[in-house]
Amino acid sequence: MSTDRPVPEPDELTLPYWEAARDGRPVLPRCAACGRFDLPPDIVCRRCGSTEPAWTWEQVSGRGTLRSWTLVRQAFLPGLDPPYVVADVEVDEQDDLRTIARLDGADPASLAIGDRVVTTFEPAGEWAVPVFRLARA
């Protein structure tokens, strides 16, 4: 992968996420109204419709289950040189919450739905971005 990748541009709602990522800590936003995690946080909770979600950021395991993936063969973003795998992962802390990120170090031909992954972080400018790795030995 090239070094001139896009870098995060945190805003008021997402700054806690990017600060934790920079420290290597996986966190998720939890709505104070319904108690559910949601990604990304917004001014209205998509889970309960609260217009005052008062998001709290909670550290989580960073573990999840592979639900789907795609092998990217064409360059779409500068600094992300294909081929690479983008994974759709259901997070352990909430079975209906999914997130996507690049899956590093995996042979796409050996992947299977249900594979276990763990979140790691790699530098991106002054921030860090999530990257999944297979959890199996």
pLDDT tens-digit readout, 20-76: 999 999 999 999 999 999 999 999 999 999 999 999 999 999 999 999 999 999 998
Same domain, 65 and 43: no
The pTM of this model reads 0.91
Give which of 64, 68, 111 is closest to 90, Cα–Cα. 64
Same domain, 80 and 133: yes
Same domain, 79 and 125: yes
Please report whether residue 4 resides in a domain: no
- The residue behind tokens 């996986």 is 26
Same domain, 50 and 65: no
> CA–CA separation, 94 vs 35, rounded Å?
11
pLDDT tens-digit readout, 77-131: 888 889 999 999 999 999 999 999 999 999 999 999 999 999 999 999 999 999 9
pLDDT tens-digit readout, 27-38: 999 999 999 999
